Amino acid sequence: MAPGSAGAPQGWTGQVTERTLADGRPILYFDDARRAGPVHEAVDQRPLDGLPRAGEVRYDVLTGEWVTIAGHRMNRTFLPAAADCPLDPTRDPAHPSEVPDSDYDVVVFANQFPSFAPVAVESGVEAPPFGPADGPAYGHCDVVVFSSDHEASVVDLPAQRMRTVVEAWAQRTAAHSADPRIAQVFVFENRGQEIGVTLTHPHGQIYAYPFLPPRAGQLVEQARRHREATGGHLLADVLRAEQAAGRRVVLAGEHWTAYVPRAARWPVEVHLAPHRDVPDLAALDDAEKAELAVVYQELLRRVDRFHPGVDRVPYIAGWHQAPTGADRELGRLHLQLFSLLRAPGKLKYLAGSESGMGAWINDTTPERIADRLREVAS
């Protein structure tokens, strides 16, 4: 999309305007509805340096996993005062934020402290004694801000705004998937300081990885084994099995079904999957996007009601999407929404077994989780 241009896909009544921040990073404004005349013309006046640079990736020969080294993130913004929030709109030119305009609906921009970036630098570190060579942490890291209201929450957004958020997820997934150096696009939202949120303004992120992350690699390998053994598609077959059993299904719509996985790891966990086989958010049709906007907020409401007396449950909501290249046919879109709050005031810590050995132990049962998520339905 050319800078300053606007457009809207069929079925969505909003528009997108692309601008550039002072250091050259792109920023895109997603408006709920079309606006007459030029929009979002405020210019970023901050004296910023050039584009943020990538760190590097190093291969762990003991696990076969890539580890990203991003030392520049050590000094990133951490829980600033509300008056200094970098995600607020710039209403006072003397106190500019990451968003130059004085108001917005949804805004997406490249992270100032990225784990992955399209600008690489030489590491200057010795070559590994064996295994693949180190490389730049090439990729993309977007910040997706859901509202200009600092105190807002995704669960409380108006329906039209939530639909705009879904559109932003889909469009940015498509844009990053088109980069031939990207292997996986991960859309996610963190809420709550308990799980590491460093900015309380309602926002999510999008990571475009240059490699297949461990979780995605495991899903692909399991899907390959399932196809060789049965001829079926693992994620589609899991959905059908849960629908047939019904015991752990917590929500069923025309296009989406939510269920607690039978081997749930977290004290609160639910998966949401489309009925149609689609690889990613960009492949959803308008009816699926519209229902997703409603279903997603309903799941968040139920999570918030899960523990009596807790108003805002910390959670991570991540969209698992198909790889962009090889093995794409083995992937299938689905959401994993979970919380590490096992009881009011009590967190599930990843202690020795989970952190040290990756051997998970859940202190509740998936069936109890499903029962509670049905009990607290709207």
Domain boundaries, the chain: 45-211, 227-375
Task: Give the helix, strand, coil percentages of the chain, each rounded to 5.
Answer: 30, 20, 50
- Determine the pLDDT at residue 53: 87
Selected catalytic residue, list 201, 203, 233, 320: 203
Angle between helices 234-245 and 214-230 (to 10 degrees): 80
Closest to 76 (Cα-Cα) out of 207, 198, 204: 198
pLDDT 10s digits, 198-249: 899 999 999 999 999 999 999 999 999 999 999 999 999 999 999 999 999 9
Q: What sign for the dihedral angle of Cα 109, 147, 30, 91? A: negative
Residue 29, C-beta contacts closer than 8 angstroms, at least 6 positions apart: 16, 17, 18, 19, 39, 40, 101, 104, 105, 106, 107
- Determine the pLDDT at residue 83: 83
Candidates 3.30.70.100, 3.30.428.10, 3.40.630.10, 3.40.50.2300; correct CATH number of 45-211?
3.30.428.10
Angle between helices 159-177 and 286-305 (to 10 degrees): 120
Other residues' Cβ atoms within 10 Å of the Cβ of residue 357 = 8
Spatial separation of the C-alpha atoms in residues 207 and 139, rounded to whole Å: 8
Candidates 3.40.50.300, 3.30.70.100, 3.40.1160.10, 3.30.428.10; correct CATH number of 227-375?
3.30.428.10
150 is known as an active-site residue: no
- Determine the pLDDT at residue 8: 39
pLDDT 10s digits, 146-164: 999 999 999 999 999 999 9
Domains 45-211 and 227-375 share a fold: yes
> Which residues of the chain carry a pLDDT beneath 70?
1-10, 74, 78, 122-124
